[in-house]
């Protein structure tokens, strides 16, 4: 979605659309009238410093890829839910100034690769007994968990 803000409603959100790519050169806002933003996969591929703002907690069925640009919450204390992989590349970032939480859930294995700047404020890993979340570590010293990691 190139340089357009996105507002949507309905019970299914944007999940039926598959992967959504935010690749505009300026900041973009994703908003919804419902309680959460429900999508299948998100790719953020923006120039350095450009932000993709989310006005509600995000629930992803599949992967989150931040190739370039910054993931930014518009309010404090969001709990985002990921059911698959998280990849933050060297030109990407998660802004951790809003006390956000990323919760890794589901019945499949998950992989976390974080090479960008910023980092997590809080992380929750809540998996079934036969699954795992792997590599909660930064490839460089720049990725951090600044408050807590809870494994349940």
CA distance 56 to 61: 16
Under the banding of pLDDT at 50, 70 and 90, the label for residue 4 is low
57 versus 38: which is more confidently predicted?
Answer: 57
Please give the pLDDT value at position 90.
93
Residue 123: other Cβ atoms inside 10 A:
20
For 4-14, b/e burial (b = at least 16 CB within 10 A) is eeeebeeeebb
Average pLDDT over residues 43-58: 93
Its pTM surpasses 0.75: yes
Quote the mean pLDDT of the chain.
Answer: 79
């Amino acid at each position: 979605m190139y340089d357009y803000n996105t507002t949507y409603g309905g019970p299914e959100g944007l999940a039926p659309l598959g992967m959504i790519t935010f690749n505009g050169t300026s900041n973009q806002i994703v908003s919804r009238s419902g309680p959460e933003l429900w999508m299948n996969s998100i790719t953020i591929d923006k120039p350095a410093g450009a932000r993709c703002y989310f006005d509600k907690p995000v629930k992803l069925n599949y992967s989150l890829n931040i190739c370039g640009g910054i993931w930014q919450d518009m309010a404090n204390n969001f709990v985002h839910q990921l059911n698959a992989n998280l990849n933050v590349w060297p030109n990407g970032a998660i802004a951790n100034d809003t006390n956000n939480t990323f919760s890794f859930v589901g019945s499949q294995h998950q992989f976390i690769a974080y090479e960008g700047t910023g980092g997590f404020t809080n992380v929750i890993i809540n998996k079934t007994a036969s699954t795992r979340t792997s590599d909660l570590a930064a490839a460089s010293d720049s990725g951090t968990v600044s408050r807590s990691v809870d494994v349940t």
